[in-house]
Structure 1
Amino acid sequence: MAPATQAAVAASGANAPVDEIVVTAQFRSQNLQNTPLAITALNAASLEARGATQAADLTNTAPNLLFKQAGASYGPAAQVFIRGIGQQDSSFASEPGVGTYIDDVYYGTLYGANFDLLDLDRIEILRGPQGTLAGKNSIGGSLKLYTHKPDGRGDAFVEGTYGTRNLASFRGGADIVMVPDRLFARISGVFNRQDGYVRRMDYGCLHPGGGVAVAGTSQNCTLGREGGKNYGGGRVALRWLPTAGLEINLNSTLIRDTSEPAPTVLTGVTSAANAYFGGLNPNIFVTNPRDYINYATYTAPAFTDPATYAGKVGAGNHPTTTVPDHNDILNSATAATIDLSLPHGLSIKSITGYTYTRAAYGVDMDSTPVAVQNALYAAKSRQFSQELRLSGDAFGDLVDWTVGGYYYRAHNNFSGSNILYAGLPFENLNSPDDDIISRNKSGFGQIIVHPLDRLNVTGGIRYTDDAKSYVYRRFNPFLPGVPTFTPAGALTGVHSDYHATRVDYRVNVDYRWSDSLMTYAQISTGFRGGGTNARPFVPEQAVSFNPETLTAYEIGLKSDLFDRKLRLNAAGFINDYNNMIFTNVAPTPTSINNATPTNVGKGQFKGAEIEITARPFDGLLIDASGSYLDFKLKSFTSAGVVIAGVTLDSKAPFSPKWKAAVGVQYAVGTAIGTLTPRIDYAYQSSFFTNIDNNPLGAVPGYGLFNAKLTWDSPDRAWRLSATVKNMFNRFYYVNKFFNVGLQTTQPAPPREWMLTLRRKL
């Protein structure tokens, strides 16, 4: 290899051993390979190499991680599952199964959780229950994002991207020294816009005389698009070192997102749907999913309430109503972290966070010009959290310990207007305005004993007091402040409360057999907080449900082999899942309709995971992961409960049995800089989106190739990259939804390309 080539490759770091990454999963900074947990850690360089720009791009970066954009019916939310446990429903009445944190501050809502990965230092993906570790209980695992701290180096960058469907993206950041050695600042920002890939077509315009009115003004019968992006935001961070041993970090982020709704295509109907289409054949609105079109209008035509409501306040004739065909999210987050070193090896860490989230979105659930369900929803969340930790050591180097406390309170509101089955005998017309208050208090402790030089024994315990209150209101959307005349109106003023306490524990033993190999065994517990039924039809269904609980048994190994040219980490686990929540559809005294979350199930997940990173020779980097996941429903109580379609053979939703990913990149030094081609392949087997395993909710498996070519200038100041996602234009689904006899699907984007130019300043 010529000297110039050697220098270029060396500058890229490609001939170095596998990266060391420091994580904080056990309350203190540790090398990833010394942390006896199933954890995937990715630094900023790894994220950039993979082309990850939003949190949903992480779905192929870790074993047994599934990160999906929620279907349009659930609004601008994320659905995150780890080892088969997560949360599909974005309702405030339920708790996420996977905890999401930004700079150790818990993010308590699924709305807006598909974060832009703006100016990140690293990501930690912890798999398994975090009952004793994370700030708030997380039964499935945790996703932790850490932003760059100002460091006084004065570096800065600007970046621009152009690509498919008029993609235009700009990013930038700068590190500023305000007071040498004392006060530093960092500012960063992002703007991203891209057209959607599913076209909303005017059925009446395309099919004159077909019995469907023209929806309105359109160009070439096109009403709009779904799946497009339009967001921007910024972050300001301050780092203050007033005295030795004291560090204060403040940061504040503001993001505004007015992206289009999740792309939705009507791909199937059953005879159950006929009742909702007023004599029209619903099959005429079914489209070929590969055409990337639907007939959504986001409009409910004028209608008259059925005769059964005649004479009731607010009943009668109602005008045409249109809801927004885009999302509107505002998210602001502020965090303050104080680290204080005290004499005798003691340290205190304080983490304070405040987050405000506002989301508004329109829903055309059926993706047709018929108003089966048209809705406008608004969700607001204000949350405050405080965590305080005291850490130290004892008996020399024999014991490390941490004790602390955590407090969380969120005031949430869910409102809007909901028009279901307009003008039909079973019409449901209501405008929710619900208040939900969530409160969590806990005290915790962890001790790590080092009885032998290479042996560590860890014990952790946490006591949690968890509560939620829900106040229901159901008004008439055409007569504000007056309860709706449909049966839902009786819910106005009804309260439902949940409260539970819980003790979780963790016992872990790890042994380092050599400098290159460590193994561990662990038993740990966790829980998902209970809640209340967010969608009762009548007051007797406004009831609470208890927490789900998990006991996890895990073994694992971490190794750095061949002079750290090969890293191999693996884990196997058995998770006993108790008090599982299913939907009870048994009729109640005043309603034949019911969809009440109820604790009735026991199940077990078994699985295995492997992660490999290798630098076998100069310039070549290989990273790979694979996972296996199996679920068995052990039992469910049926006394007085009807769980539609569920049997002991049912598979857990959002739980693909197999996942695999591999990426290969090779840095080639040249006289004009370094060229680094990279190719990624990811495979995911099929999964169901509901526990009843209805075939109409089955998402087929798929495999994808992405490719990227990057050029770095010799001085590393310029970087130009070309990326192709879904290189072979594979058609596949991200998500599916089945309700009222309608199968709607969320197709993934077709092939995309983009060019990115980055300049370090």
Structure 2
Amino acid sequence: MEHGKHKLSYMALVIATALSSNVAFAQDNTQGLDTSDSGLEHIEVTARKTAENLQEVPVAITSIGAEQLAQNGVSVLTELQQFSPNTTLQKSRGTNSTLTAFIRGVGQQDPLWGYEPGVGIYIDDVYMARPQGAVLDIIDVERVEVLRGPQGTLYGKNTIGGAVKYVTRKMTGDAEFKVQATVGDYSRQDFKVSGQIPLIDDKLYLGFAGASLQRDGYGEYITSDLDGQDRENYNKDVFAGRLTLEYTPTDDLFFRLNYDKTDDDSNSKGGYRLLPSLLTDAPVPDSVYDSYTSLPTWNKVETEGVSLTVSYDINDTWSVKSVTASRESYSPTNIDFDNTSLRIFDVPAIYDDEQFSQEFQLNYNSDKLQLVSGLYYFDGESCGHYDAILEVLGNALTLPGFTAEKSGCNNSESYAVYAQGSYDFTDKLSMTLGARYTTEEKEATVNTAAFFETVYPKSGWVPGYVRDDAALAGSINTVLDDSEEWSRFTPRVGVEYQYSNDMMLFASYSQGFKSGTFNPRATTAEPAADPEIVDSFELGMKSEWNNTLRVNATVFMLEHKDRQYISVFPNEDLTVVDQRLGNIGDSEATGAELEIQYAATESLSFDLSVGVIDTEFNEVLTWNGTGYDDISDDFTVSNTPETTANFAVNYDLETDLGSFVFNGNYYYRGEYDLTETGNLLTQDGYGLVNLGINWYSNDGNWEAGLHMKNVTDEEYLVGTYAFVTPQDDGSYLPGTGGDNTLIGYYGDPQTVAFTVGYQF
């Protein structure tokens, strides 16, 4: 860990230098911050559930607005990791719509139902409880905010790493219509339409947005027996739409009704075999985007949501707000763990989730005190079903066909009351106090079965297959049917010092918790794992001077306690995979983040963000039969590079032909492991170069953009499945299924896209 500590020390020195320089400058600057003449954009965020200037919020936050997203050709949520230090947002294994999210080393390793995220995803303040369908496409968005560090006071459970807020565009009051088309390599064809219609002038508006997003695969399935199936791998086939109705009957009362629906019919994502198969004669593919499979290639993710927001200004200081929301998702998916043409280790699965939430807020805003308080209710049903099909078990066991089936639900109901206020003692000194009390009950069932035949979740999964539920019912056993209740108090304490109009210094302590849960893979009636807890300390600076330079910096330390983890135990019955969930131990992280924006001239600007983090497990206890052993040296904090950095340049050029914006950025991610323990694949540090040219007509109606991503065509891992045992001589012993299963999933290759849009 010494290398990481040197990086952290260097980063702290950089921040200290920036801080001391800023202090010296602030003493000479008596004009204060004048955003009207500033070369820097005034950025408004709602990180504390009220509209504030980014520079006034004592939270480590990155906000990326619609204009910046468009000019950088950002089309999907995962690309935002480039802009936020110490952040990982990547497409998960097996599908293009499941999100892997980590912030400051805290996230969710396994997307199976029942497991809880460590980073909260929000659409217009509505929480998305599951990672399936969370790789959101950027459609008619106003901005995206990335909040780093525990947000347990205002946002509640499962935000121990942070939160990502997807904020859709609000109505402007005028009739608008915009159409946009994008074409690119891999036969990319995207079509987007959005607009708004005043139904009653100054009172009632209807907004709409829709998108059809199509692309061929970066690779293909090269299996020989896929007659009649789509062979595209890493392709895209998405339709997304949104309707919004806004009503303002009086100046003090506002209603907003949102409906959104997404259908993702992109194929299941096949992995790349890094080792030759022992059981087939197929070679390792030539491309990392090519794969083999014995499952159908189709996949589906359907998500749908509706929300109603009502806000009322009681008077100049008091206001109330209500957010009522319901969401559901359904995802049948095919995951071929071994990625061969044999059914060595195939897992067809169904994820089925529903949630309802209700939040009431009572807010107060005066010259001295700003208060956000509320009541929150959440009811979520998270269910699933998978069949682990093993037809060939090598030397361990040979069967004509064997299927291990799991199904069940992890349902939760929670209530919370919260309040957070900031009080100004003087013009310079203020203090923030926040607290949230949450009580949650979780009910879980796990059904398990073993069939000596190949079984799929439902009829028609493969052509001609009929699932005989009546005949299978006798083999299905309920091994877990239990409930558990937890209560948690999560505080936040902060002190802010406004050194000058241009600089704020802050220090804070915050706590968050990740929900306790039952093991969805349980083989016995094992108890639930307790909630995970994160305690975080931060020191930060928000500064801006000369209306051209913005420097925001944070140093932090967090302790991640009672970490939940699945352990695999040997079983005398080779058909039983005994996986038990428990709280295994603690980890910690220390780090720093620096974000700089510099408007060198009216036309030229630079952005720099750097994050460094040093993580390690302090304790991982395992039972040896007579006592506990500490095996923390075998664990690593996954999906967390020691260094992330982004340097971007933006140049505006005004001509008689219109306005041109040229931009480019270099994004670097340091080395990181893909799994917490038994890691066999480590991604070396790599850099991505992205370039763009944008054009805007002088009348403001037309726009166009040409964007090239991953210019140098870097290959980098974002996920893995590993079912082999490494040997000292560099060879591997086969694992589950009797084959050398070491699989990699990769990020996007070099792509080029041209976009043209018209609006009036």
Q: What range is the shorter-chain TM-score in? A: 0.7 to 0.9
In 2, distance between residues paired with 1:528 and 1:737? 25
Q: What is the CA-CA distance between 1:716 and the residue it aligns to?
A: 2.2
Matched, 1:420 2:390: yes
2:649 paired with 1:687: no
User: Which residue does 1:3 correspond to in 2?
Assistant: none
Q: Which moved more, 1:84-93 or 1:139-148?
A: 84-93
Contact 1:661–1:683 (Cα < 8 Å) also in 2: yes
Specify the alignment match of 1:711 in structure 2: 695
* C-alpha distance in structure 2 between counterparts of 1:509 and 1:583, whole Å: 39
1:429 aligns with 2:403: yes
In structure 2, list runs of 5 or more residues that go unmatched: 1-34, 456-466, 724-734
For 1:517 and 1:750, the matched residues in 2 are separated by 41
CA distance in 1, matches of 2:131, 2:567: 24
Query: SS at the partner of 2:49?
Result: coil
The residue correspondences of 1:452-467 to structure 2 (distance < 5 A) are 452-467=426-441
* C-alpha separation in 2, matches of 1:182 and 1:420: 61
Hey, what does 1:527 align to over in structure 2?
513
Selected match of 1:243 from 221, 225, 250: 250
**Superposed CA offset, 1:167-198 (max 9, x none):** 00011111211111111121111110000112
Q: How is 1:53-64 mapped onto 2 (pairs within 5 angstroms)?
A: 53-64=75-86
Residue 680 of structure 1 and its aligned partner are, at CA, apart by 1.3
* TM-score, L = length of structure 1: 0.86
CA contact (8 A) 2:414 2:441 kept: yes
Residues 410, 517 of structure 2: 8 Å contact kept: no
Aligned residues: 690
Q: What is the CA–CA distance in structure 2 between the aligned matches of 1:262 and 1:16, rounded to whole Å?
A: 46
Q: CA deviation at 1:295?
A: 2.2
2:413 matches 1:439: yes
Q: Distance in 2 between matches of 1:459 and 1:154?
A: 43
Q: CA deviation at 1:422?
A: 4.8
Confirm or deny that 1:402 pairs with 2:380.
Answer: no
Which of residues 558, 568, 579 in structure 2 aligns to 1:575? 558
Larger CA deviation: 674-683 vs 123-132 = 674-683
1:586 CA displacement: 3.7
One-letter amino acid of the counterpart of residue 258, structure 2? N
Counterpart CA distance in 2 for 1:543 and 1:697 is: 32
Aligned in 2, Cα 1:48/1:469: closer, same or farther, shift over 3 Å? same
* Compared CA separation, residues 41 and 496, structure 1 to 2 (3 A): same
**What amino acid sits opposite 1:451 in the alignment?**
F
Q: Counterparts of 2:748 and 2:65 in 1: how far apart (Å)? A: 26
CA distance in 1, matches of 2:220, 2:580: 36
Question: Which of 323, 332, 344 is equivalent to 2:304?
Answer: 332
Once the 2 structures are TM-superposed, how far is the Cα of residue 498 of structure 1 from its aligned partner?
3.1
Give deviations 1:558-590, integer Å, cap 9, x for gaps: 11122x211111101000111112332344798
Per-residue deviation at 1:490?
6.1
Q: 1:428 to 1:628 in 2, by over 3 A?
A: farther
Contact 2:621 2:632 in 1 (8 A): no
Aligned position for 1:262? 269
Q: Secondary structure of 1:545's partner?
A: coil
Cα deviations across residues 497-554 of structure 1 (Å, max 9, x unaligned)? 3321111000011111111111100001001101011112x224x4311111010010
For the pair 1:50 / 2:39, whether they are aligned, the reply is no
Matched, 1:341 2:320: no
Give the 5 Å matches for 1:26-425.
26-72=48-94, 76-134=97-155, 136-202=157-223, 215-217=225-227, 224-268=231-275, 277=279, 280=280, 284-290=282-288, 292-298=289-295, 324-343=296-315, 345-393=317-365, 397-422=367-392, 424-425=397-398
Q: List alignment gaps of at least 5 residues for structure 1.
A: 1-12, 203-213, 299-323
Task: List per-residue Cα deviations over 1:229-282 (Å, max 9, x = no partner).
Answer: 00112111111111231111111111111012234111126xxx85xx3xx57x
Distance 2:47 2:628 in 1: 38
Cα displacement (A) at 1:27: 2.5
CA distances 1:324-383 after superposition (whole Å, capped 9, x unpaired): 312211111111111111136211011111101111111221111121122321111111
What's the secondary structure of 2:122's corresponding residue? strand
Deviation of 1:410 (Å): 1.1
Between 1:340-349 and 1:441-450, the stretch displaced more is 340-349
Amino acid at match of 2:222: M
Identity %: 27
Cα pair 2:180 2:192 within 8 Å, conserved: yes
Change (3 A) 1:398 1:369: same
Change (3 A) 1:449 1:590: farther
CA spacing shift, 1:728–1:87, aligned 2, 3 Å: same
**Residues 173 and 217 of structure 1, relative CA distance in 2, 3 Å threshold:** closer
Are the equivalent residues in 2 in contact too, given 1:76–1:359 (CA < 8 A)? no
Q: CA deviation at 1:750?
A: 2.4
1:305 corresponds in structure 2 to: none
Alignment of 1:522-601 (within 5 A): 522-536=508-522, 538-540=523-525, 542-562=526-546, 564-587=547-570, 593-601=577-585
Contact 1:195/1:229, CA 8 A, preserved across alignment: yes
- Report the CA distance shift for 1:37/1:232 in structure 2 as closer, same or farther (over 3 A): same
Corresponding residue of 2:18? none
The counterpart of 1:616, out of the listed 600, 619, 627, is 600
Inter-CA distance 118–608: structure 2 relative to 1 (3 Å threshold): same
TM-score (norm 2): 0.86
Any conservation in 1 of the 2:333–2:349 contact (CA below 8 Å)? yes
